[in-house]
Structure 1
Amino acid sequence: MKTWHCTLGILLITAVTLLLEIPVNTWLTSATLSMIFGTTALLYMAASCLLGSRWRAVESVFGGLDRVYETHKWLGIWALVLASYHFVFKANLDEWNSVPIFELPKYWTRLARQLSYVALGLIVLLALNRKIPYSQWRWWHKLSGPLFLIVIVHWLSFKSPITLSSPVGVWVALFCATGVLAAVYKLLLYPCVGRAGEYRVAAVSRDKGAVHLTLEPVRQKFAFKAGQFAFLAMQEKGLREPHPFTIASAHASNGQIEFVIRGLGDYTSKLCECAKIGMHADIYAPYGRFKRPAHAKQEVWIGAGVGISPFISWLQDAQAKDFDNATLVYCFNPSRAFPPVEALQAMAEQRGVRFIGNPGGLDALVDSLHHAVGRTEPANVHVSFCGPKGLLLKVRELMTAQHIPRANLHIELFEFR
């Protein structure tokens, strides 16, 4: 499922079931549109809670937790857009025979309406503000669940043509109930039941503002596949917030797991500076669906900065094969390259992967795609990418120039916020 499938699907189902409850002659009015948009905004919030639960079933539907969080973000944005229209335009007509599902005094009914819009705006603005330190942002974002309850109170207490026994009422009630359960699970139960294992830092390597961590299991280890990621929470003051990092190693029998982390924000900078051997960490994992394409005749792997991590795990996967058809392009800043280019080149050559170091410009990317197209048809070339959005746009342009289908591009979303 893609983001637009989710947003458009919820909107259409809400619109159809709601139109069944009101007179046909009122369909083409601002009040009807306001009611549809307001109800859909409520359901977008419920869906955001559901997507934020990290349930395995939800991840499977979207094809990876990175896609889940991308949809989660856009649901919040569209909820605020639709709620703004609903807030401005009256969502009631005399012909509707509107009654509240749960009646409250007028003061509290009006207050719930105003607070619900303020709550939604606060959630979205806080979620999208990158200037807020991660530790503070995470705790503010935890308020999403409780604030969602205010919006539900507004729906139940405000006059509308929706009844709990109607199709739209059943649709909204079930969706909201699922959203509340998901929010309660994430807020209270996930730290207890979602933990995959406790680990100890066994080795630390630092260079150029980055750190390479090797952790070994203390109590419980978990199996994972090359290309997946985990939420790492160090058991140290200021580093306890679970933070997503791509696993930079393949699954090993001894349970060891590795991460390559660059200090790009307040949390990662502190982690790079303070991490030391002997520290303990909780790891919630595994997540993600970043896998090598099956039956690809030519593969081009493009990793930029710490986006090289999933490709390191691919190279270490003892069960993988057909490396002679792969080209690894490492895009890096010479002053910040970590792991070192020489180490990655040796690792690639050991597995028979063609390696290209790209310290800047697009020449290496053009060469890698041209080389792949020269060995097979463009339709048989598959590109796997992990890196910033700016470079992703360039990769798409180069693929178009080489007539490689857009569908042959597989990406791991680089940012969650």
Structure 2
Amino acid sequence: MKSFKGILFIIIIMCSSAFLWYFAKPIAPIHVLNKLSHMIAGLAITGFFLVFLLSTRIKIIERWFHGLEHVYVYHKYLAILSLVFAILHGQLQKMVPNWDKVQKTPFTELAKNFGEIAQYGFIALILIALFAKFLKYEHWRIIHRLLLIPYAFGLYHVYFSSRYDLLQPTPLGIFTASTATIGFMSALYMLTMYQDMRFKHTGKITGIRKIAPSAVELQLTLDNKLPYRHGQFIFLKIFQEGLEEAPHPFSITAGDGQKIVVTIKALGDFTKKVNTMIQLNTPIAIEGPYGYLNFEAGQQQQLWIAGGVGITPFLSYLTSAPSTQNIELFYSYRGQDDTIHTEFLQDYAKNNEHFKVNLIDTTQMDRLCFADYSVPAHTSIFMCGPEKMVKRYAKQFKSHNRDVDLNYEAFKFR
């Protein structure tokens, strides 16, 4: 997966911040330790600007990182890195000689207090977010939105406790004002406007089909056609009493754009309720599509690997038209309750000489391992499933061939 543009974007922004702080002229001469502390504070506030920008799901950013799940990876580690910078800044500032003797004003005293509030706020919220598996999805989203509060306190601290005049139109002043404004507006957009502005495709549920004890297929009929590519996913909001309205990501299993099908497996509180409570004619709204599993752009020889409900993007492609590419699918699942459409896959393999399927029930068989698997030349590999599974197989494939054509999406958006 290629994320070079996205990585380069992060490097350029962070290096620009360090460069501008290093060469900026302070209001009055300051100790070298104070200069270093200011530069690290600048990196912290710039890092949080990137954190908020990456959370907006802007299409061009998704393209730069080659997939939304990769955006979230850098979003997470940038938040941790920025927090480390903020803590380091606080510790360094205490070591600056005669720092307490600097002339104080009501603004600087308030800024100092706001800096401490911002630091503790970031620590608390980021630590809670890192333990997202213990939270309901809606609570996790609220905690992410609350990061705007310590960010606002942090910006006040940077502007009014700095030994640099950031209100002047210097290169550092312009850079700080630009990133602060974009970062703050990005966070405010996700907090107040995202839900209304981005979910433009509306419709209702016109079909419900139970396909497994813990999985249901929903047919969504949209008011306007949704252009999408097989293998992509959407964020879906369901407006039914008893179900949270927060958007959740689901792969498109089938459809023509006017009608689309999603498969929802009972994996958490929300999906369990959908599986038991969902009703016909329930209003819905969609945002997307997202995803970079492009089977049509792959090589003639393809290797597919799916885990559990990760089979859905592959089903979208197979149900669209008979495949002329040579495909071998490994479908791993844990027991019959975890499997989806195995009969369809077996029938498809019988009727299409270009397609081969391997069903792996891990309750009866050993887990898949590709450590010794030899990938034929000119083969594209596509994977979809739980994050741990996808990362494990990606590592195994790359250990044999660094240039392998590897395309994947993992189930983790927290």
TM interval, shorter chain, is 0.7 to 0.9
1:110-166 superposed Cα distances (whole Å, 9 cap, x missing partner) = 221111112212331232222111122222322223432221111111122353423
- Shifted more, 387-396 versus 283-292: the winner is 387-396
Q: Which amino acid aligns with 2:250?
A: F
- Deviations along 1:192-249, one digit per CA (max 9) or x if unpaired, are 22113122112222323222212112x2331111111111111023321111112222
Give the letter for the 2:333 counterpart. Answer: F
Partner amino acid for 1:399?
F
Q: 141, 157, 161: which is aligned to 2:160?
A: 157
User: Is 1:356 aligned to 2:355, yes or no?
Assistant: no
Q: Which residue of 2 aligns with 1:412?
A: 409
Q: Which residue of 1 aligns with 2:249?
A: 244
> Could you say what secondary structure the match of 2:285 adopts?
strand
Q: Is the 8 A contact 2:214 2:338 kept in 1?
A: no
- 1:338-360 Cα shifts (integer Å, max 9, x gaps): 31322232245555421111113
Closer/same/farther in 2, CA of residues 355 and 290 from structure 1, 3 Å limit: same
Identity among equivalent positions (%) equals 24
Q: In terms of mean alpha carbon deviation, does 52-61 or 87-96 score higher?
A: 87-96
Distance 2:209 2:371 in 1: 32
**3-state DSSP class of the match of 1:147?**
helix
- Distance in 2 between the 1:340 and 1:39 partners? 53
- Which residue in the other structure is 1:336 paired with? 337
Alpha-carbon shift at residue 406 of structure 1 (Å): 4.8
> Aligned runs of 1:295-374 on 2, under 5 Å?
296-318=299-321, 321-323=323-325, 325-350=326-351, 352-360=354-362, 366=370, 369-370=373-374, 373=376
Given the superposition, is the C-alpha separation of residues 259 and 168 from structure 1 closer, same or farther in structure 2, using an over 3 Å criterion? same
For 1:338 and 1:295, how far apart are their aligned partners in 2? 26
CA apart distance, 1:181: 2.1
Q: Output the amino acid matched with 2:230.
A: A
For residue 69 of structure 1, what is the aligned residue in structure 2?
72
1:246 alignment partner AA: S
Q: 1:123, 1:141 within 8 Å by CA — same for their partners in 2?
A: yes
Shift of 1:78: 1.1
Q: Which residue of 1 aligns with 2:393?
A: 395
**1:242/1:228 Cα in 2 relative to 1: closer, same or farther (>3 Å)?**
same
Q: Deviations over 1:56-94 (max 9, x none)?
A: 222222222222222211111111111111121118968
Distance 1:140 1:60, change over 3 A: same
Find the aligned partners of 2:314 and 2:107 in 1 and give their Cα distance: 60
CA contact under 8 A between 1:10 and 1:40: conserved in structure 2?
no
1:219-258 paired onto structure 2 within 5 Å: 219-237=223-241, 238-249=243-254, 251-252=255-256, 255-258=258-261
Out of 263, 270, 277, the residue aligned to residue 280 of structure 2 is: 277
The alignment's C-alpha RMSD in Å is 3.1
The equivalences for 1:191-202 within 5 A come to 191-202=195-206
Q: Distance in 2 between matches of 1:18 and 1:93?
A: 17
Q: Distance in 1 between matches of 2:21 and 2:13?
A: 12
Residues 327-378 of structure 1, C-alpha deviation per residue, up to 9 Å, x if partnerless?
11111112323313222322455554211111135676659955x52xxx3x
Q: Secondary structure at the match of 1:67?
A: helix
User: Is 1:11 the equivalent of 2:8?
Assistant: no
Shift of 1:107: 3.9
Structure 1 range deviating more: 356-365 or 284-293: 356-365
TM-score by length of 2: 0.86
Provide the secondary structure at the position in 2 that maps to 1:387. Answer: strand
2:217 and 2:282 map into 1 onto residues whose CA distance is 14
CA distance in 1, matches of 2:372, 2:96: 62
Comparing 327-336 and 284-293, the one that deviates more: 284-293
Question: Distance in 1 between the 2:396 and 2:95 partners?
Answer: 52
CA distance in 2, matches of 1:359, 1:367: 19
> For residues 118 and 351 of structure 2, what CA distance do their matches in structure 1 show?
58
User: Closer, same or farther in 2 for the Cα pair 1:109/1:341, shift >3 Å?
Assistant: same
- Kindly indicate whether the alpha-carbon contact (under 8 Å) linking 1:32 and 1:91 is maintained by their aligned counterparts in 2: no
Change (3 A) 1:41 1:332: same
CA distance in 2, matches of 1:57, 1:132: 30
> How many Å separate the matches in 2 of 1:52 and 1:285?
14
In 1: Cα distance, 2:136 partner to 2:330 partner: 32
Within the alignment, does 1:143 sit opposite 2:143 as a pair? Answer: no
Aligned residues of 1:116 and 1:150 also touching (Cα < 8 A): yes
Q: Comparing 334-343 with 259-268, which one deviates more in the overlay?
A: 334-343
Give 1:354's aligned amino acid: K
Give the SS at the match of 1:264.
coil
Q: Which amino acid aligns with 1:160?
A: R
| Residues in 2 aligned to 1:246 and 1:295: alpha-carbon distance in whole angstroms | 19
* Alignment size in residue pairs: 401
Structure 1: runs of 5 or more not aligned: none
With over 3 angstroms needed to count, the CA separation of the structure-2 counterparts of 1:280 and 1:190, relative to structure 1, is: same
Residue in structure 1 matching 2:179, options 175, 192, 195: 175
Matching of residue 212 in structure 1 with residue 217 in structure 2: yes
Partner of 1:383: 381
Q: Residues 46 and 178 of structure 1 are in contact (CA less than 8 Å); yes or no, is this contact kept in structure 2?
A: yes
- 357-366 vs 128-137, greater mean Cα deviation: 357-366
**CA contact 1:239–1:271 (8 Å) conserved in 2:** no
* 1:230–1:284 Cα contact (<8 Å) kept: yes
Q: TM-score, normalised by structure 1?
A: 0.86
Alpha-carbon shift at residue 416 of structure 1 (Å): 0.8
One-letter amino acid of the structure 2 residue matched with residue 269 of structure 1: K
Alpha-carbon contact 1:196-1:222 (below 8 Å) kept: no
1:33-62 Cα deviation digits (max 9, x unpaired):
332222111111111111111222222222
